[in-house]
Amino acid sequence: MLRLQGEMVRGGTSKCWIFDHQDVVATGVDIDTLLLAAFNAADPRQIDGVGGASSTTSKAAIVRASAEPGVDVEYTFAQVGVGDERVEWTSNCGNCATAVALYALHRGLVPITSETTTVRMINANTGARLTGTIPTPGLVPPDEGTAVVPGTSALGVPVLLGFQDPAGSTTGRALPTGRPLDTLAGRDGPVEASLVDSGAPVALFDAKAFGLDGNESVAEFAAVVPVLTALRRQAALAMGLAGPDDPVGHAVPKVGIVGPPAGYRTTHGMPVDQDEYDLAVRMVSMHAPHPAIGLTSAIALATAVAMPGTLAHRVARPTADGTLRLGTPAGVISARAVPAPDGASPTVLLHRAARRIARAELLVPAPEGHPE
Amino acid sequence: MLRLQGEMVRGGTSKCWIFDHQDVVATGVDIDTLLLAAFNAADPRQIDGVGGASSTTSKAAIVRASAEPGVDVEYTFAQVGVGDERVEWTSNCGNCATAVALYALHRGLVPITSETTTVRMINANTGARLTGTIPTPGLVPPDEGTAVVPGTSALGVPVLLGFQDPAGSTTGRALPTGRPLDTLAGRDGPVEASLVDSGAPVALFDAKAFGLDGNESVAEFAAVVPVLTALRRQAALAMGLAGPDDPVGHAVPKVGIVGPPAGYRTTHGMPVDQDEYDLAVRMVSMHAPHPAIGLTSAIALATAVAMPGTLAHRVARPTADGTLRLGTPAGVISARAVPAPDGASPTVLLHRAARRIARAELLVPAPEGHPE
């Protein structure tokens, strides 16, 4: 049985297991094999491992100190399979980044010299640069706080998560086609789309084009998900994310609809008034409605709203100070764009929360033939 | 934030968090409050806690050394709510008992003096006495083994789990009505039932009474679950488990159907031949088909089969050596009855497996107003 130190940390609405790169190397086992065994990925119930048997609770991050100037830590995000012996390494996860920031503070990877500490991170999967700013009163890393995020009533340490220079993170351009508005060939005719690359590549559609308002319940939105996933392929081709002969992917770009603010109820039944937010959004996660919104998609929306001509700019309530309040099925999530120096695109800030749940030594079944 | 040491241990097809009684007391918080917070029971996704968001992965056991002669450890089983801020303390769990036996060995609660060690346990919820016998070659507690149980392909340490003198564990009598066969008033007329109390109170029906064979798929069996749960109330009254004015319970007695052995396929598609088992059984878990069978129900079946006149005795293949092979949706589970001294009912033995998954320090949000 292999031994592996790890911490279970909630970041926003995800539960992430965080490991130190050195501890992973010390096992002598390749990381895919190690994570698949530790989580019991083969089992849809993950009954023999530390995984939580759902996509939001079957995540890991491997962290190390960075040698790069201006960067404190580097993390690699792993989406570990549930009933599927595969680890996906292709995307970033904003929720896990939030958890990594709190973990890094507690592990002493960042010196605490004032009442607020910023952890500067680089995501190794995508090259994205992020910051996590955490209150450190008394110069000690905090274990508790009263910050909440839509999607859970649990309290946590407040983490101000910043995505630095997010525009063009995948393709090099905020608008990969060079246009704020494109027309894709839908099943029932042409459909307008704004194809944006910021945080992650995202294809946005006007809710009205599908007879919707953008503030529907998850169940109502589910009806148009097949149409949107069909359009995803064309968006990928237009954005240069896939070639005509590539296999059809289901993760890139992210797709969703936007609409003007209007009163609605969250999945938990809480009323949200028209004045409480600026843009209604319903995103697709793989093949199903996203219960809230992925943080990287929130970044793309903040970028899109700031660009005249995009669908998001067209339907959103104009905001003065760069704060965009997104109305999602789980509630309102705010993203604030602040100007950056040196020609970089605006940094986008999100208020998130994290909590360390457990510090553990995992006992991991060694792969066959592996000397322990 | 409170600190609590714990171990995540798989027992059979359940994942149990096991805590030392002293560690629980040291927190100064009542155990219900502590478990609800540690597991994040309020959230159906248990995103801010160590729970696995399903009934089989939201379990805990609190263990202490026993002062009673002939007993090594006492454990209390807790079924922690999922999206429900309640802890149920009314039942025993055989899978967690398996996990407790392995935990007790590693914690040094039982001296290891030979190549096989038996942990003698008492379940504080029900008063049941159990034994867990584990190979201890080299006089060290094992961390790995090659034992498997139906319902998971994971390997574990073999644990021979014994239920001692199980008959009449709740009511004092193996046949609470004094008869091996009773007649209950079903919706469409009288229905024969064998009401047995061994391991747990169980009401058994003949599959044929519902037009079934007893070896149906979980989906096919689901069709008769409402009829069986309706009969549960009458069985509870007949067994003296509830009075006419008591609220309707959904956990007691356990209900299910039995049939003669015949070829079928497991939920995972593996064929099971008629000769590979002795009695077909499909049990209800609360309001849904059980994916396999609860271990305490397996005990009741082993007892019932040994008593002439019961439905189980009538349809099961006669077995010579006291080993009863139960055909469940997940596969075949064997229970062996061995004579006990001093007029006690036969001990029933089950081959199970356990594995320690992680040793952890949990960080548990303190209840409001609680001094840390």
Does a structural domain hold residue B372? no
- Reply yes or no on whether the pLDDT at A355 is more than 90: yes
Query: Does B362 sit within 8 Å of A356, measured CB to CB?
Result: no
Do both A223 and A96 map to the same domain? no
Burial A348-369 (b: 16+ CB within 10 A, else e): bbbebbbbbbbbbbbbbbbeee
Query: Does A50 sit within 8 Å of B358, measured CB to CB?
Result: yes
Do both B154 and B112 map to the same domain? yes
% of chain B exceeding 90 in pLDDT:
89
Average pLDDT over residues A43-55: 95
Tokens of B187: 């919706």
Residue with tokens 């955490």: A134
Query: Does A359 sit within 8 Å of B40, measured CB to CB?
Result: no
Contact B332, B344 (CB under 8 A): no
Q: Smallest CA–CA separation between B281 and chain A, in Å?
A: 23
Q: What SS3 state is found at A34?
A: helix
Do both B74 and B139 map to the same domain? yes
Closest residue on chain B to A153 (Cα): B43
Query: Does A45 sit within 8 Å of B54, measured CB to CB?
Result: yes
The pLDDT score that the predictor gives to residue B319 is 84
Give the helix ranges, DSSP H, for B255-326. 295-305, 311-315
Q: What confidence tens digit (pLDDT) does each residue in B60-79 have?
A: 999 999 999 999 999 999 99
Do both B41 and B122 map to the same domain? yes
Does a structural domain hold residue B171? no
Confidence of residue B369 (pLDDT cuts 50, 70, 90): low
Element (H, E) at A98: helix A94-106
Q: Which chain B residues have a beta carbon less than 8 Å from that of A8?
A: 50, 360
The pLDDT score that the predictor gives to residue B254 is 94
Q: Smallest CA–CA separation between B241 and chain A, in Å?
A: 33
Q: How far apart are CA B341 and CA B77, in angstroms?
A: 28
Q: Are strands A116-123 and A73-80 parallel, antiparallel or unpaired?
A: parallel
The pLDDT score that the predictor gives to residue B188 is 84
DSSP A220: H
- Among residues A87, A85, A40, the alpha carbon closest in space to that of A60 is found at A87
Residue with tokens 């992020």: A130
- Reply yes or no on whether the pLDDT at A258 is more than 60: yes
- Reply yes or no on whether the pLDDT at A255 is more than 70: yes
Q: How far apart are CA B144 and CA A3, in angstroms?
A: 13
Query: Does B356 sit within 8 Å of A47, measured CB to CB?
Result: no
Tokens of B98: 């398996």
Contact A162, A130 (CB under 8 A): yes
Cβ-based neighbours of B64, under 8 Å, separated by 6 or more: B20, B21, B22, B73, B74, B75
Q: Cα–chain-centroid distance for residue A371?
A: 37
Counting the structural domains of chain A, the total is 2
Contact B208, B200 (CB under 8 A): no
Q: Which chain B residues have a beta carbon less than 8 Å from that of A57?
A: 45, 47, 52-53
Q: Which chain A residues have a beta carbon less than 8 Å from that of B53?
A: 52-54, 57
**For chain B, how big is the Rg over CA atoms in Å?**
20
The pLDDT score that the predictor gives to residue B169 is 87
Query: Does B47 sit within 8 Å of A13, measured CB to CB?
Result: yes
Tokens of A230: 């069909």
| Angle between the N-to-C axes of helices B94-106 and B295-305, in degrees from 0 to 180, rounded to the nearest 10 | 110
- Among residues B17, B29, B116, B27, the alpha carbon closest in space to that of B75 is found at B17
Query: Does A356 sit within 8 Å of B360, measured CB to CB?
Result: no
Tokens of A107: 């592990």
Query: Does B48 sit within 8 Å of A156, measured CB to CB?
Result: yes
% of chain B exceeding 70 in pLDDT:
99
Q: Are strands A288-289 and A271-272 parallel, antiparallel or unpaired?
A: unpaired
Q: Smallest CA–CA separation between B291 and chain A, in Å?
A: 12
User: CA angle A362-A366-A369, nearest 5°?
Assistant: 170
Q: Cα–chain-centroid distance for residue B42?
A: 24
Do both A128 and A242 map to the same domain? no
Contact B139, B169 (CB under 8 A): no
Do both B128 and B11 map to the same domain? yes
Q: Which chain A residues have a beta carbon less than 8 Å from that of B15?
A: 47
Closest residue on chain B to A354 (Cα): B48
Contact A31, A62 (CB under 8 A): yes
User: CA angle A60-A64-A65, nearest 5°?
Assistant: 150
Q: What confidence tens digit (pLDDT) does each residue in B170-198 have?
A: 899 999 999 999 999 988 899 999 999 99
- Reply yes or no on whether the pLDDT at B371 is more than 80: no
Do both B139 and B190 map to the same domain? no
Do both B329 and B196 map to the same domain? yes
Q: Could you tell me the end-to-end alpha-carbon distance of chain A, in angstroms, rounded to an integer?
A: 7
The pLDDT score that the predictor gives to residue B325 is 97
Does a structural domain hold residue A344? no
- Reply yes or no on whether the pLDDT at A334 is more than 90: yes
What are A11's strand-pairing partners? Answer: A14, A354
Of A1, A8, A54, the CB nearest to B45: A54
- Average pLDDT of the residues of chain A: 95
- Reply yes or no on whether the pLDDT at A369 is more than 70: no
Q: Which chain B residues have a beta carbon less than 8 Å from that of A50?
A: 8, 357-358
Q: Looking at the whole model, is its pTM more than 0.90?
A: yes
DSSP B134-201: EE-GGGS--S---B--TT----BEEEEEEEES-BTTTTSSSSTTS-S-EEEEETTEEEEEEEEEESEE
Do both A53 and A186 map to the same domain? no
Cα dihedral sign, A304-A306-A309-A312: positive
Query: Does B365 sit within 8 Å of A357, measured CB to CB?
Result: no
What are A182's strand-pairing partners? Answer: A193
Q: Which chain B residues have a beta carbon less than 8 Å from that of A141?
A: none
Q: Smallest CA–CA separation between A358 and chain B, in Å?
A: 4
Q: Cα–chain-centroid distance for residue A321?
A: 24
Query: Does B50 sit within 8 Å of A8, measured CB to CB?
Result: yes
Q: Which long-range contacts (CB under 8 A, 24 or more apart) does B107-113 make?
A: B107/B20, B107/B63, B109/B63, B109/B65, B109/B72, B109/B73, B110/B72, B110/B73, B112/B136, B112/B139, B112/B140, B112/B141, B113/B139
Contact B215, B283 (CB under 8 A): no
The domain containing residue A255 runs over which residues?
A: 182-339
Average pLDDT over residues B346-359: 97
Q: Tell me, what CATH number does B228's domain have?
A: 3.10.310.10
Do both B120 and B251 map to the same domain? no
Confidence of residue A28 (pLDDT cuts 50, 70, 90): very high
Contact A224, A217 (CB under 8 A): no
Phi, psi of A321 (to 5 degrees): -100, 15
Average pLDDT over residues B278-285: 96
Closest residue on chain B to A15 (Cα): B47
Residue with tokens 């209900």: B255
Of B52, B155, B357, the CB nearest to A52: B52
Tokens of A34: 């190690």
- Chain B residues contacting A via beta carbons under 8 Å: 1, 8, 10, 13-15, 40, 42-43, 45-50, 52-54, 56-57, 143-144, 151-156, 355-363, 365
Residue with tokens 């965080």: A18
The pLDDT score that the predictor gives to residue B318 is 92
Q: What SS3 state is found at B308?
A: coil
- Reply yes or no on whether the pLDDT at B305 is more than 70: yes
- Reply yes or no on whether the pLDDT at B368 is more than 80: no
Contact A200, A169 (CB under 8 A): yes
Does a structural domain hold residue A299? yes
Q: Cα–chain-centroid distance for residue B36?
A: 22
Tokens of B61: 């056991």
Q: Within 10 Å of residue B25's Cβ, how many Cβ atoms?
A: 12
Tokens of A46: 């993950």
Entry field: residues in chain A: 372
Strands (E), chain B: 2-11, 14-20, 59-65, 73-80, 87-88, 116-123, 129-135, 157-164, 182-186, 189-198, 200-206, 254-259, 264-265, 271-272, 279-285, 288-289, 323-328, 331-338, 347-364
Query: Does B53 sit within 8 Å of A53, measured CB to CB?
Result: yes
Phi, psi of A65 (to 5 degrees): -65, 145
Q: Within 10 Å of residue A225's Cβ, how many Cβ atoms?
A: 20
| Angle between the N-to-C axes of helices A295-305 and A94-106, in degrees from 0 to 180, rounded to the nearest 10 | 110
Does a structural domain hold residue B170? no
The pLDDT score that the predictor gives to residue B5 is 98
Q: How far apart are CA A285 and CA A292, in angstroms?
A: 10
- Among residues A258, A229, A252, the alpha carbon closest in space to that of A240 is found at A252
Does a structural domain hold residue A371? no
Does a structural domain hold residue A346? no
**Cis amide prior to B289 (ω within 30 degrees):** no
Does a structural domain hold residue A7? yes
Of A152, A156, A356, the CB nearest to B43: A152
Q: Which chain A residues have a beta carbon less than 8 Å from that of B49?
A: 357
Average pLDDT over residues B11-33: 97
Query: Does A40 sit within 8 Å of B355, measured CB to CB?
Result: no
- Reply yes or no on whether the pLDDT at B240 is more than 90: yes
Do both B68 and B211 map to the same domain? no
Do both B292 and B157 map to the same domain? no
